[in-house]
Amino acid sequence: MSAAEGFAVTLVDVDEPTLDRLVDAAIIDAAADEVTASVTTGPEWSPARIAWLRELHRSCRQGLNGPAGQATWAILAEDQIVGAVRLKRTVVPGILETGIWVTRRARGQGLGGAATAAVLRTAVSLGAQGVRADTTADNTAALGILRRLGFAVVSGKDGADVEALLIFDTS
């Protein structure tokens, strides 16, 4: 188990047994588009999307300094896997990108916010100077989390995409 303790969640490394549980949770209780890239057409889960999800977490096991430049964790709440969160290097030194998904039945209980707060603490402990996130203007829950945690939120030109940035106060 690694590092980050949240208020109601723990972030855990995605070893093989955890990956099996994470994939089950995702397939049963999250939309494929919320969890994977659009590797197959249509929003449904497919073997290719499941393979993509497994490969993502396996390829990130060496963390930010590994070949993927990315680290992922499963979100554990009351011994259940309820989602995943990640940190990835960006082209801007010191700035990491984050992303998160939470199972449908676990949403609206503060777990996404707690997991995001936990991953920010992890980013600080890893020496990051800030974290960015991309979402959409209609993602009320994600925007609520980002604003409450102090991110500056800027709309893209088309009004649909939103970029959020938090620079850590190290003073």
Ligand X SMILES: CC(C)(COP(=O)(O)OP(=O)(O)OC[C@H]1O[C@@H](n2cnc3c(N)ncnc32)[C@H](O)[C@@H]1OP(=O)(O)O)[C@@H](O)C(=O)NCCC(=O)NCCS
- Residue ranges in contact with ligand X by CB under 6 A: 34, 99-102, 107-113, 133, 135, 139-142, 144-145, 148
Minimum CB separation of residue 171 from ligand X in Å reads: 26
Q: Which is nearer to ligand X, 99 or 130 (CB)?
A: 99
Cβ closest to ligand X, residue 66 vs residue 148: 148
Q: For residue 129, give both structure tokens.
A: 């100077």
Q: Give 122 or 135: the residue with its C-beta nearer to ligand X.
A: 135
- Using Cβ positions, the residue closest to ligand X within the complex turns out to be 112
Quote the least distance from Cβ 16 to ligand X, whole Å. 24
Shortest CB 96 distance to ligand X, Å: 14
User: What is the nearest approach in angstroms of ligand X to the Cβ of residue 52?
Assistant: 16
Interatomic CA distance for residues 169 and 151, integer angstroms? 12
Whether 75 and 66 have beta carbons less than 8 Å apart is answered as no
CA neighbours closer than 13 Å in the CB half-sphere of residue 154: 7
Nearest residue (CB) to ligand X, 102 versus 123 = 102
Q: Which is nearer to ligand X, 19 or 100 (CB)?
A: 100
